Amino acid sequence: MKISQILLIAACLIVTACSSEKDVEKQPESYEVVSPMVKNTPYSSEYVAEIQSVRYVEVRSKIKGFLEKNYVDEGQTVSKGQLLFSLSFMEHEKELQKANADYKAAIADLKASEVELGNIKRLVEKDIVSKTELEVLEAKINALKAKVEEAQANKEQVALHLAFSQIKAPYDGVINRIPHKVGSLIEEGDMLTSISDNSEIFAYFNLSEVDYLNYISSDEEEMKIVSLRLANNELYPHKGKIEMIESEFDRETGNIAFRARFPNPDAILKHGANGEVVINKVLTNALIIPQKSTFEIQDKLYVFVVDKNNVLHQRNVIPKMRFTDYYAIESGLTKNEKIVLEGVAEAKDGTKIDPKFVDLAASMSAADSQ
């Protein structure tokens, strides 16, 4: 074989090899692509809450006196009307005895003067005594009547003090801190203890004006049922219900107060505790895409959209809400478009790809089951 023929064959082989390499290079890379999914998406919002007993009262003294006896202990459960403290009871009891005696004496003096008045009237009719004596006696009787009224008022006042010296529970509840010991001098208005009725509790929390408007524009009855996250980050086992919204916004914070009521059968919740009220909500007809389909450039969110010619186009999208593994999109994308599912870090704008369509709903279900 001539040298020229050998060279020609070699050249052809080289050209063929180069053409094959170019053909390989021109093969588009394969990417999985998905279409956004439209679905009602549940989510929850949490709000810092202050927990209060359904009934809480500070038990204060209405009189001044010495604390004679303490009938209860801190943390004790008491019933309505149960005696808690005795405050100078014996002293007030003796004062009531004296007031009763003064009242009876005033009544006796009045009756004696009224009998005398009858006699004087008969004597006046017979002109035995003058009318002046009659007038003097009538004035005396009026004074005695006033004295009876004064004695009665004093008796009632002392009886009231006696009642105040016996401090009783206003309702069923639990005794809290008792700051004064037996023998202490108690001034009028001093706090003896406080009582908490923890059979149910209130959770007070605040919503911004935006959250408030979203709340009342949603299925309010369904959203009234709420959960409570405790300070240890565990969910309280019983559901509560929103039952009150204040009538005005706080001018300083721009928030409005809500109140939810929770049952407390196991007495886990205590007055003054903290937690978070969890309100479950639903984002209606949300346009959902996976987080792995997105990337950020200067705090803006982007996806790669696949056009009808299978060419990638980088596009900015506006998220409405971020969830654990996906975004709800506000704008920038439609449900009929296709985007790259994953591998966006290696993809380039303007690149032609070999798309492999994946059903997003099935992909998300598979991920959730793992």
Q: Helices 131-164 & 89-125, crossing angle to 10 degrees?
A: 160
Is 179 found in the same domain as 153?
A: no
Q: What is the pLDDT of residues 235-269, one digit of tens each?
A: 999 999 999 999 999 999 999 999 999 999 998 99
pLDDT tier, 117 (very low <50, low <70, confident <90, very high otherwise): low
If you average pLDDT over residues 348-358, what whole number do you get?
92
Residue 24 has pLDDT above 70, yes or no: no
Strand, coil or helix: 366: helix
The count of structural domains within the chain is: 4
Any domain includes 1: no
Lowest mean pLDDT among 131-145, 165-179, 306-320: 131-145
Is 295 found in the same domain as 253?
A: no
Q: What is the pLDDT of residues 269-318, one digit of tens each?
A: 999 999 999 998 888 889 999 999 999 999 899 999 999 999 999 999 99
Residues linked to residue 338 through DSSP beta bridges, in sequence order: 306
Is 340 found in the same domain as 233?
A: no
CATH number of the domain enclosing 102: 1.10.287.470
To the question of pTM greater than 0.85 for the whole model, the response is: no
CATH number of the domain enclosing 278: 2.40.30.170
Any domain includes 66: yes
Any domain includes 339: yes
CATH number of the domain enclosing 183: 2.40.50.100
Any domain includes 10: no
Is 260 found in the same domain as 147?
A: no
Last residue of a domain, one of 249, 282, 315: 282
Is 208 found in the same domain as 138?
A: no
Any domain includes 195: no
Residue 334 has pLDDT above 90, yes or no: yes
Any domain includes 17: no
Lowest mean pLDDT among 13-17, 68-72, 220-224: 13-17
Is 122 found in the same domain as 69?
A: no
User: Distance between CA 3 and CA 160 in Å, rounded?
Assistant: 135
Is 241 found in the same domain as 125?
A: no
Torsions phi, psi of 290, nearest 5? -70, 150
Q: Give the domain range for residue 320.
A: 28-42+285-369
Residue 225 has pLDDT above 60, yes or no: yes
Q: Is there a contact between 196 and 208 (Cβ–Cβ < 8 Å)? A: no
DSSP states along 118-135: HHHHHHHHTTSS-HHHHH
Pair type for strands 312-322 and 326-331: antiparallel
Any domain includes 144: yes
Is 348 found in the same domain as 275?
A: no
CATH number of the domain enclosing 334: 2.40.420.20
Is 355 found in the same domain as 299?
A: yes
Residue 23 has pLDDT above 50, yes or no: no
Last residue of a domain, one of 120, 154, 189: 189
Residue 42 has pLDDT above 80, yes or no: yes
- Angle in degrees, CA 60, 61, 66, rounded to 5: 135
Q: What's the start-to-end Cα distance of the chain, in Å?
A: 67
Q: Is there a contact between 56 and 198 (Cβ–Cβ < 8 Å)? A: no
Is 289 found in the same domain as 242?
A: no
Is 160 found in the same domain as 97?
A: yes
Last residue of a domain, one of 282, 313, 341: 282
Is 362 found in the same domain as 333?
A: yes
Q: What's the mean pLDDT when you consider all of the chain?
A: 85
Any domain includes 270: yes
